Chain A
């Protein structure tokens, strides 16, 4: 009997958040193949179309890194180190395969280390261009085609265009439902806390998309009928930056007296905001969504040259304009920029994104941490000071 019938809505979300592998282990027991992936660039639609279960891997900031020390040094992204550490500790015995992509340079290196030290029946490394040039888009489409062929060879099945379109539709449904969920944060006070939303997003990343959609519908209905609302706070914050897969930081912010009403992180809007357009050749829509639609600092994008040359503000608008929509739509009055230490793609971005937020008249604070529980506690004082500034 599926566990989904026993608990529903936010209770089910909490179960899945606290024990992520629970559901995929059941599915594995039923004969389904589970494919792990890291970050948001591996194309989940392909896996869904072949009836595989995509399972997004995270780290664990509560687990000390011990095994990964031997092959990935302390001066690189602690999130990636933690993810690899869990694999080396055999925390994913249910995986039938792994897909990794050139998400960032350390991510690329780590993919090869992972492949060397952990043996899976299936492994694929997907190259992802760094620009959104037309030729990069064409190349990326071919790369996705290569990924498709490799999955087909692994499963012994072919993906028909119709199957792929169906997978695209069901993933787009999930993206629409996530946006609907986020709409519930527009009210003042928001109907759902930032902590709860993050739990939902983490839960979704570990179950098949169809189940995720059902779960989202239940959560949305439950929230809409909720009588007890979040406390109204003066600060309505957007949290920007590198991956957050544990609620601790959001809890610290909310317990300090703020509502986290919006995010720009990859377990949030970055992973679910943009949809795949159903193009005649579905691969065109997929390539565009993953390379251009996902707004992550790992991809270079710049404004077109105007006749007078390059314009910094136009460049910022092109790179961060979507943040203005978030700020206005969710009535944000402050931004917390956060990143795990040693994340180059986010580190270089910080002064520019602050310039953009300043141009919108929005105060911001930048916080760095080393992806451990102990590194978050000292941030509380800085968050409280920031909230005082906001009034």
Chain B
């Protein structure tokens, strides 16, 4: 009898129903579309647009997440090629090229129907597009480019991002929150006008409450990962992160699933159960992983690498006090602006780190999660996610003597990532992590 090989990553059992629930969303949207209900294509907007869609009973699908689905299932290449044929530069965002190729195929070859080869049931033709004015220029340029293929109304949500020093003042904070709240109100009016239906404000308030509850439990789960050994590997984090960041479907059910996840992680902490067989190196991962080559993490887990924390922006917002804030739109604005975007600014300013939430949290994580090193994954087709990583590498070394392994790749395009080379580099990097562990010890650092 062949004995099943023990997997190096000890995956969480409660992760599986969460994944199933997320996957179910694609099917639900296809069914809803077939039944004549409108579907939105939305960029990730950290709940801002999501809450409004949910409260207006409009299903949302996320082409960024779908890009990862296409990459992981091997379906992306034909869409990337199609984008190239359409005249878009090949160095643009892999997610965007995947989506543009998909849209061209759907609209030009399939008469607006889902292409038959589309994985996970595909994305139905949208009734509205929601883009964003933050994170990356692709956040709005990509959907703007879709106008070549579909006459779909589009809205761009604004999210201001001041500099670290400029953003410290209360005046700037309140001004920006007011701006975002007004933008959300205008977006609601836009949606009402496009769909001819009124916002259900009570339902929106309930939706925001549910999202806050999911966010809190997800945040607390992340905090548990500071434990040694770390109970939850990045693979589980990435599998589950789109639940809170793309909140669709039954939110009460989702909350229960994330509470179950929290309980399992907590139980592991109490019983000192590690996410890898033997935790030798605690590593942070910055930026999105190569979805097409996740085997990388299994191989590294066999060598004792435990990936214990990821990019700040994919983590839940730091809970903030919202006592007295009753307007659900203002609550959303405050969570997004104060909880996620600028909550690290005070610490960053004190540390003289001006890169804000893209830079400083890596230093904070290195200390709080007691990291031996960082795996930095610059995405060759994503400037927004990569431009700062060389800086981050330098700051981690200069300030904390934490080394980083830089391995270039892409989230969608497998041709830009060399798995064998990455593994060779990782092996050599272990000596560097060992060396700097000694250096930190000599310099009196805690880990």
Interface set of A (CB-CB < 8 Å, partner B):
69-73, 75-77, 102, 104-106, 108-113, 115-116, 124-125, 127, 129-131, 133, 135-136, 138-139, 142, 146, 150, 297-298, 300, 302, 305, 309-312, 315, 341-342, 344-345, 347-352, 354-355, 366, 368
Contacts and interface: CB of A to CB of B under 8 A. Distances in A.
Q: Size class of B's contact patch?
A: 35 or more
Given A102-B161, A348-B92, A354-B87, A113 B383 contact: no
Given A298-B137, A302-B154, A348-B142, A75 B391 contact: no
Contacts of B154: 302, 310
B147 A310 contact: yes
A76 B166 contact: no
Given A112-B359, A138-B179, 15 more contacts: A73-B389, A105-B383, A109-B358, A112-B354, A113-B355, A127-B163, A129-B160, A135-B182, A136-B179, A139-B158, A300-B141, A309-B152, A344-B137, A350-B87, A351-B145
A71 B387 CA distance: 8
A42 B380 CA distance: 30
Nearest to B138: A344
Nearest to B385: A105
Nearest to A114: B354
B209 interface: no
A133 B183 contact: yes
B425 interface: no
B163 A112 contact: yes
Contacts of A135: 158, 179, 182-183, 186
B383 A71 contact: no
A310 B194 CA distance: 11
A75 B354 CA distance: 22
Interface string B406-440: 00100000000000000000000000000000000
Contacts of B96: 348
Contact of A75 (B134, B142, B172, B378): B378
Interface string B270-295: 00000000000000000000000000
Nearest to A129: B158
A115 B136 CA distance: 21
Nearest to A310: B151
B148 A309 contact: no
Interface in B143-172: 144-145, 147-148, 151-154, 156, 158, 160-166, 172
A111 to B, nearest CB: 7
B391 A113 contact: yes
A111 B387 CA distance: 11
Q: Which of A130, A142, A309 has the most CB of B within 10 A?
A: A130
Contacts of B383: 75-77, 105-106, 342, 344
Contact of A368 (B89, B152, B160): B89
A300 B133 contact: yes
B88 A350 contact: yes
Contacts of B88: 347-348, 350-351
Interface of B: 86-89, 91-93, 96, 131, 133-138, 140-142, 144-145, 147-148, 151-154, 156, 158, 160-166, 172, 175-176, 179, 182-183, 186, 193-194, 352-356, 358-359, 378, 380, 383-384, 386-391, 394, 408
Contacts of A130: 133-134, 140, 156, 158
A266 to B, nearest CB: 16
Contacts of B193: 305
Contacts of B389: 73
Contacts of B136: 105, 344
Contacts of B352: 116
B391 A116 contact: yes
A71 B390 contact: yes
Contacts of B89: 347, 350, 368
15 contacts: A72-B391, A73-B390, A102-B161, A105-B383, A105-B387, A112-B354, A112-B388, A129-B158, A130-B133, A133-B158, A139-B179, A342-B91, A347-B92, A351-B88, A351-B148
Contacts of B186: 133, 135
A110 B358 CA distance: 12
Given A112-B356, A116-B352, A310-B151, A75 B91 contact: yes
Contacts of B134: 130
Contacts of B138: 344, 348
A229 B359 CA distance: 55
A71 B148 CA distance: 37
